[in-house]
Structure 1
């Protein structure tokens, strides 16, 4: 099984690192993609190696997509290639996990209208404006999309995301 994490500088460190290691524990090969290869730096100073540029990503090769939060989604949601990748996962019915500000990418991809979702509290209004049914709870699973609010929700987020992929 293969998982893809898409992020950029200023990601929320725990929201990338916790799922990264948890997925490896479950036997996934995990790739991290960003605007360019090299390294990205989190809000709290952690650096993570990026082994793929967005242009190198082939969504067909992956079973799961993860979109960590922090400030990175604000940058990524403006990138046409990111939106194309996210839509490809969605169309293929593959699980997509988005936490904190990660759902902003799903909003920009046009995937949340009429769907239940959660996010960090400062994104809630934007979710509602996009036509999503906002729920203020640890994790919300709607079809192949799993959303969560913040770092303290990570255990619930990963448990639910992993249960979706095992179906």
Structure 2
């Protein structure tokens, strides 16, 4: 999971906890931060304004060093939204990591503004995905097809699972867990 300051609180914390709860090992990494550091999160809400409302969230702990990881060792990638993707996409090492997962056809989940990392990494040519609606034009300009779904919906294109925002957690996490081969027995 690649995060940065002002990642969307629920889009980092909930997937980290759910994936860990069902038995997956999740490393949360951030360029220029080390294991034990934290990122500040932002809480986004939808109160009927023309765009989302933003408040300061929690501190989210980084549990691995970005510069020490080897992307080949990982089975999947989670790209939470919030404001972090807009500047994380400027980091060439982040773009290389994202490209590794896309070209290896490993499962990728990208939420809200997370697809900005896919557009900047050149990973959407000929693919379809959803995102927070404001990211739709970027997806199209990057050669992808933007798919509009309800705020609690999900879109799956092969190994790519995307959702417009945190209200879609049940839908996208279910689709992502299937791609990961997770089996949950109630």
**TM-score of Structure 1 vs Structure 2, range by shorter chain:** over 0.9
Q: Using the alignment, how far apart are the partners of 1:92 and 1:79 within structure 2?
A: 20
Q: Choose which of 9, 23, 34 in structure 2 pairs with 1:13.
A: 9
**Greater helix share, structure number:** 1
Q: The residue matched to 2:99 in structure 1 has which SS?
A: helix
2:171 to 156, 159, 163: 156
Instruction: Indicate the residue corresponding to 2:40 in structure 1.
Output: 41
Greater strand proportion? 1
Structure 1 unaligned residues grouped into runs of 5+: none
Of 108, 111, 119, the match for 2:120: 108
Residues 1:59 and 2:55 aligned together: no
Q: In the alignment, what sits opposite 2:50?
A: none
4+ residue segments displaced more than 3 Å: none
User: CA offset at residue 78 of structure 1?
Assistant: 0.5
Match of 2:130 among 112, 118, 122: 118
Unaligned residue ranges in structure 2 (runs of 5+): 43-55
Q: In the alignment, which of 60, 78, 81 is matched to residue 69 of structure 1? A: 81
CA distance in 2, matches of 1:91, 1:26: 27
Structure 2 length-normalised TM: 0.84
Report deviation, 1:64. Answer: 1.3
C-alpha displacement of 1:75:
1.1
Q: What RMSD, in angstroms, separates the aligned Cα atoms of the two structures?
A: 1.2
The structure that has the greater radius of gyration is 2
